[in-house]
Structure 1
Amino acid sequence: MRSESAVQLERAQALTQTLGEVEGRLAAAESRLEENLSTTAASSDGAKAVLEEQARSHSAAVRDLSEKLRSLEAEVEAERCRHKRGEDEQERLVEALQADKVDLEQRVADRAAATVQMRKEVVALSRSLDYAQQNIATLTKQASVAREAEEALQGEVQKLNGELSSANRVTKDLEAQVTTLEST
């Protein structure tokens, strides 16, 4: 589908062509009028009257054609102005679209940069998580070792408590024997 500007331009060109044709017809009429006027001097009074009438008729035709010519010139000028306004509007639209394109490209670039940054942060967080999981595994192992050591110590303590109880009984036995010996 043709644009409004193209249609307007074709119309202006057609009007210009019509204007040229009208100018040609006007020149031809003026030429015929001059020929008739030159012939009038050599003609009879009746022929002169006819020629004068033709001259008036041609003058009227010339005035009519001049009016049409001015009207067409005004229409062509108006059409050119409309075409120029259409071109200016198209230029403004192209500039606006270009500005929108630049803005969109900048936003896409910003979004891409933000995406790259987010990916880096995700990688860093993933590494931190791996490190934390390793620490948890290490601490869990250390806790298990500590529990085993605590259980071993508790066994040692129980053993020492048993030995201490035995020593206490032996001590009491010895004290009883000493007391018995002292009383005899």
Structure 2
Amino acid sequence: MNKELSPEQRESLLNVLKARFDKNMDRHKGIKWSDVATRLETNTEKLWSLDAMEETGGEPDVVGFDKSTGEYIFYDCATESPKGRRSICYDHHALESRKEHKPGHSAVGMAAEMGIDILTEAQYRELQQLGKFDLKTSSWVATPAAIRKLGGAVFCDRRYDTVFRYHNGAESYYAARGFRGLLRV
């Protein structure tokens, strides 16, 4: 798979990301777009991943900077779980375990193909400090190995102005459940 954008695609994506960055300055206080853009322009594979996040409805935006690695952190900031990543089970094993009515993909598999990570519960809760997300949908989050070993998976949403963590069988899937990702650039 070619993981490089054309010059036109790069320019279009950078324009979308800059507009979102400028519109949501409260998500990334103290970070300058010029610094982010410089970093993005030297990481073409990461741009491809950001484009995949955008194309599936994630609306990625900068939410932090890791001083120890020099990386900018992007999270999916769409109001609801990204439309292009819904109706999927948790991982490949769960997908294979379904005998009938299989979903089209899994969250873990899709994230790997996109070159991103699924938010952990802690990261999901950090995101919720930046706004109100998943008021009508829910998002799979990285599931602890002990829970996954027993056949479960974890997802979160926001209801009643509170972030909730739930469990389900990893093979389950719903039209209103997707996943949110993160990318470090």
> Do both share a fold (TM > 0.5)?
no
Q: TM-score range by the shorter chain?
A: under 0.3
* Greater fraction helix: 1
TM-score, L = length of structure 1: 0.19
* Greater fraction strand: 2
